[in-house]
């Protein structure tokens, strides 16, 4: 098998398995571990994979996006810390927007005893709040994205455009100093953009692995956020660069 074919197989494995390991790939493809490491370096340089300890994970693109099962397993301890810190930022808000994704679901679990009206595009967040006696849940309509169990397109965007929300919790697939907040799917970007515009305050919740990453569709600038909540895994020096653009950065 030539290197191009082998690297294509590696990307395919990463996208279907969510993560690939050097040793397992070497055995499966019948080559040396050093060959696999060189392949992973090439693929990381082409932004098809991201190197992690012992292997690699697929980078999300307009044609590929990781599923909820994977998101619920990666950076899990960090995401719980982030959600706890983010939930403490309600500060008197009466209406809250919860974005799609696993981290907003974790925030929802921490808001069940609050007296709030929660607007969300996420079936996961709505489910977490369904049994609360103090939270009113307004679920946005629209096309359901099976990969994230969230709604998008005209019905979701048009409803958000009629609302005034006190506080929005937004996730992102990538955030960088140069290009702001981005996601692979323009339909998702449109909902996120509408939520930011409808909200008086916006809080970004993002694991450290999202920083320095760019995707196809931009939905907000860093300066539009009051606060960024991430993990201590993001270096303090890097956090300061984002703070210089306006928001407070909390490393939980």
Give me the mean pLDDT over the 10-32 stretch.
87
Give me the mean pLDDT over the 149-175 stretch.
96
For residue 17, pLDDT beyond 80: no
Which comes out higher in pLDDT, residue 25 or 59?
A: 25
- Residue that has been written with the tokens 């392949």 in this structure: 39
- Interatomic CA distance for residues 27 and 242, integer angstroms: 42
pLDDT of residue 91: 95
- Interatomic CA distance for residues 248 and 19, integer angstroms: 33
**39 Cα distance to chain centroid:** 27
Give me the mean pLDDT over the 47-64 stretch.
74
Taking CA atoms, 111 is separated from 176, 202, 244, in Å, by 29, 17, 30
Name 103's Cβ contacts closer than 8 Å, sequence gap at least 6: 79, 82, 83, 86, 171, 205, 206, 207
Task: Kindly provide the residue ranges of all beta strands, DSSP E only, lying in the chain, ordered along the sequence.
Answer: 19-21, 49-52, 55-58, 95-98, 116-120, 135-139, 143-145, 150-152, 165-170, 174-176, 180-183, 199-205, 217-220, 227-230, 248-251
pLDDT of residue 52: 81
When mean pLDDT is compared across 1-15, 115-129, 197-211, 221-235, the lowest value belongs to 1-15
Q: Specify the pairing of strand 217-220 against strand 180-183.
A: antiparallel
One of 3.30.70.3420, 3.40.50.1360, 3.40.50.300, 3.40.50.720 is the CATH number of 69-251, namely 3.40.50.1360
Domain boundaries, the chain: 3-59, 69-251
pLDDT tens digits along 190-235: 999 999 999 999 999 999 888 988 888 999 999 999 999 999 999 9
One fold for both 3-59 and 69-251? Answer: no
pLDDT of residue 98: 98
User: Which CATH architecture group holds 3-59?
Assistant: Orthogonal Bundle (1.10)
* Average of per-residue pLDDT values in the chain: 91
pLDDT tens digits along 71-101: 555 678 999 999 999 999 999 999 999 999 9
Name 226's Cβ contacts closer than 8 Å, sequence gap at least 6: 201, 202, 203, 247, 248
């Amino acid at each position: 098998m030539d290197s191009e074919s082998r690297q294509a197989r590696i990307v395919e494995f990463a996208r279907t398995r969510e993560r690939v390991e050097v040793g397992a790939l070497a055995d499966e493809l019948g080559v040396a571990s050093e060959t696999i490491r060189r392949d992973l370096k090439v693929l990381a340089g082409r932004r098809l994979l991201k190197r992690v300890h012992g292997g690699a994970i697929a980078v999300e693109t307009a044609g590929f996006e990781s599923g909820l099962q994977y998101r619920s397993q990666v950076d899990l301890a960090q995401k719980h810390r982030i959600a706890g810190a983010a939930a403490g930022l309600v500060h008197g808000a009466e209406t809250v927007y919860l974005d799609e994704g696993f981290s907003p679901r974790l925030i929802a679990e921490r808001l069940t005893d609050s007296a709030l009206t929660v607007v969300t595009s996420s079936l996961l967040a709505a489910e977490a709040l369904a049994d609360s006696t103090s939270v009113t849940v307004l679920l946005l309509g629209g096309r359901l994205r099976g990969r994230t169990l969230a709604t998008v397109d005209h019905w979701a965007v048009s409803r958000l455009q009629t609302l005034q929300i006190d506080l929005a919790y937004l996730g992102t697939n990538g955030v960088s100093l140069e290009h702001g907040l981005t996601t692979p799917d323009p339909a998702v970007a449109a909902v996120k953009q509408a939520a930011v515009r409808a909200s008086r305050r916006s809080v970004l919740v993002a694991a450290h692995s999202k920083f320095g990453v760019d995707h196809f569709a931009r939905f907000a600038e860093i300066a539009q956020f009051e606060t960024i909540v991430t993990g201590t895994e993001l270096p303090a020096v890097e956090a300061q660069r984002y703070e210089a653009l306006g928001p407070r950065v909390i490393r939980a």
